[in-house]
Chains A and B, each alone.
Chain A
Amino acid sequence: MIYKTNLTKLQQSLSIAALLTALPLLITTPASAQDQSAQERGLAIATEAKVRDTGWGDSSASMIMVLKNKQGQESSRELRVKALELDNDGDKSLTVFDKPLDVKGTSFLSFSHIDTPDDQWLFLPALKRVKRISSRNKSGPFMGSEFAFEDLSSFEVDKYSYTYLNDETIDGMELYVIEQIPNDEFSGYTKRVAWLDKVHYRPFKIDFYDRKGSLLKTLTFSRYQQYLGKFWRAEESTMINHQSGKSTLLSYSDYKFNIGLKDSDFNKNTLKRAR
């Protein structure tokens, strides 16, 4: 009678370019940085980071999520993502779910936008139904994991207001520490603090603060690989929830770039036959 999906929250955000881009952020400091205010310097770093991650074209990848609860019990999710970068708009993406088996064949189409809410459709294979869903909910968990939808969405400069905090050295790696305040009133966070390495401009770690201002989660990135001689992607990232004791390990594999995806690979017909 009433439609339902076990993807529950899938319904909401999830701008996949996102899942692929997985937050390769910030960047180098201009020479005059010392003269800038902390806000200007933070923004400059974010802007340069985005510039450096522009031009990847199209890509595909497989993802595995391992969810672990406080008692150490594990469950996993498997999905595949295709994404297309657009020149004057947000990315388009198509995600197919392989596991758990009760949601196998469910697929998700997203057209992300810079200024307006994303357009999102879900395909429910049991009913053969394509359902347009609201993209408003960014703070909900993605498939029961510790990743919220907004954690997986692509990095766009305009999503945050920035403040450069300081430099830090961790395990011999020199890092910028930047505070990011979400501009979206529907974000689940009051603040993010990101550590970015000065050499490759890749995120090393991000702290997330909840609506009460308390430290909620920490995301760490590892096993970076470079593609097309330019774009860095972390093969592993781990989200730890400090308040619940739960964690999620997200692993990417089979990254491919320039596989010839076109605009016509992202519509309701391709959504229905995605599998």
Chain B
Amino acid sequence: MYFRTMVVALLVSMGCANAQPVDINTKVSLEYRHFVDSPIHVGQSGRSNSSVSLEPEFYWTSDDGNHSVLFKPFARLDERDDERTHTDVRELLWTYVDDGWELKAGIGKVFWGVTEFQHLVDTINQNDDVEDIDGEDKLGQPMVNLSLAHDWGILDLYLLPYFRERTFPGVDGRLRGSQVIDQNSAVFESSAGKERLDLAVRWSHSFSDYDVGVHFFEGTNRTPVVQFDDDRLTPYYQQMTQIGVDLQATKGDWLLKFEALHRDTSLQDYSAVQAGFEYTFVGVAGSSADIGMLAEYSWDERGDELGGSDFQNDIYVGTRLAFNDTQSTELLIGGGYDIDHEGSKFIVEGSRRLGSNWKAIIEARIFNDNSELAPAFGLRRDDMLQLTIERYF
């Protein structure tokens, strides 16, 4: 099913009209992680980890521009963690464009939402959590997407015919809990398992300073409940019905952001919110640099219940410094505080372009969760510094 969709997408596109030459762009990334402390979980070893990833992108378009195919495979080789050494088809998407509507089929990626510290309503794609723990790396999602753009807004209809299971660090990997989650023994509530057809609809529109999105999703919850099963941790994927909203007001130097959802599953029925603001000081002290201040609050009705969220009652603040120089130098400093468990975490991210085809990225993370109830308790010895060099071709 999965593979057949890809092949059909390719053939349809190739058969249609004369194609322009293939546009190929590649990103190669070298990553080095240094952990401050020795590991505490069984199976882990060493305080450093090296890794390399490759992400080429191939793009074809027909002469008239109505048909296109985008193919973006991904591969990572990791020094220690066999689960992090993995490949994925991030995108293999055929797109047909007409006036006011477009149809996409294949494997794609969709982003919903407006907030920065948690992407609460971003529902369609599964997390590739072996890549990083910030939830921004996603696995490719098989889909058919019809999108209508009119003066009443944009209406997206999605058929999602195949489910992607979340990736988890292996026994050798850092940035995990004390026990490994066994990816190979996932249990599904639906008798159709991964073959279940999921559905989603989203309407979005802009009214002057306001951008609003409302969605409905009916299908397999991308976030599993992790359960004990014969001394193993196994992911359990429930069915869910979800409605959600995202809203941003853009008022001068202020961006006001709000996301909320309500989710029905057979175990739970709950709401969650992520909301906050971003304010930018422009041209600080007569320079070209900008400083952005961000603050957000996370709330999840489940609290510490089974399957609860890491964002149940948390405050996040951050500052983003953009130098606006030739090398696009940027620095982000952020922190999160878990009000219920009095745990905290800090993050620093800096990046700078080197020459025209290279980029250097530095990241630091500090985890301060001393309560055993805190979801991030397992990461308490995983403070780390990460250096990444990217080369673009």
On A, residues with C-beta under 8 Å from B are 1-4, 6-9, 12, 67, 69, 75-76, 99-104, 116-117, 119, 127-134, 136-137, 139-141, 143-144, 186, 188, 262, 264, 267-270, 273, 275
Chain B nearest CB: distance from A83 CB in Å?
A: 18
Q: Which residues of chain A are within 8 angstroms of B180 by Cβ–Cβ distance?
A: none
Residues from chain B with Cβ under 8 Å of A134 in the complex:
250, 252-255, 280
Whether the pair B327, A144 counts as a contact (CB closer than 8 A) is yes
Q: Is B318 an interface residue (CB 8 A)?
A: yes
- The answer to whether the Cβ of B330 comes within 8 Å of any Cβ in the partner chain is yes
List of A residues within 8 angstroms of B149 by Cβ: 264, 267-270
- In the complex, are the beta carbons of B392 and A144 less than 8 A apart? no
- Chain B's interface size range is 35 or more
Question: Is B351 a contact of A4 with CB atoms below 8 Å?
Answer: yes
Q: Would you call A8 and B294 a contact (CB within 8 A)?
A: no
Tell me the smallest distance from the CB of A193 to a CB of chain B, in Å. 22
- Report the 3 A-B pairs with minimum CB-CB distance, sorted nearest first: A101-B392, A6-B328, A144-B326
30 A–B contacts, CB within 8 A, in A order = A1-B117, A1-B332, A2-B318, A2-B320, A2-B334, A4-B330, A7-B328, A8-B323, A8-B328, A9-B288, A9-B290, A67-B326, A75-B326, A76-B356, A99-B356, A101-B25, A101-B356, A102-B359, A104-B25, A127-B136, A129-B113, A133-B250, A134-B252, A144-B327, A186-B282, A188-B283, A268-B206, A269-B154, A273-B97, A275-B59
B86 at the interface (CB under 8 A from A): no
CB of A84, distance to nearest CB on chain B (Å): 14
B63 CB to nearest A CB, Å: 15
Chain B, Cβ-Cβ closest to A267? B149
Most buried by B among A67, A144, A270, A275: A144
A49: shortest Cβ distance to chain B, in Å?
A: 29
Residue of B nearest to A117 (CB): B252
In the complex, what distance in Å separates the CA atom of A143 from the CA atom of B134? 27
A31-B356 Cα distance, complex, nearest whole Å: 54
Residue B184, interface by CB 8 Å: no
Within 8 Å of chain A (Cβ to Cβ): is B99?
yes
Q: How far is the CB of A120 from chain B (nearest CB, A)?
A: 9
Q: In chain B, residues 241-268, which have Cβ atoms closer than 8 Å to a Cβ of chain A? A: 248, 250, 252-255
Residue B324 is within 8 A (CB to CB) of chain A in the complex: yes
Beta-carbon contacts of B14-28 to A below 8 Å, as 1s and 0s? 000000000001000
Asked whether, in the complex, the Cβ of A1 is within 8 Å of the Cβ of B349, the reply is: yes
Q: Is B41 an interface residue (CB 8 A)?
A: no
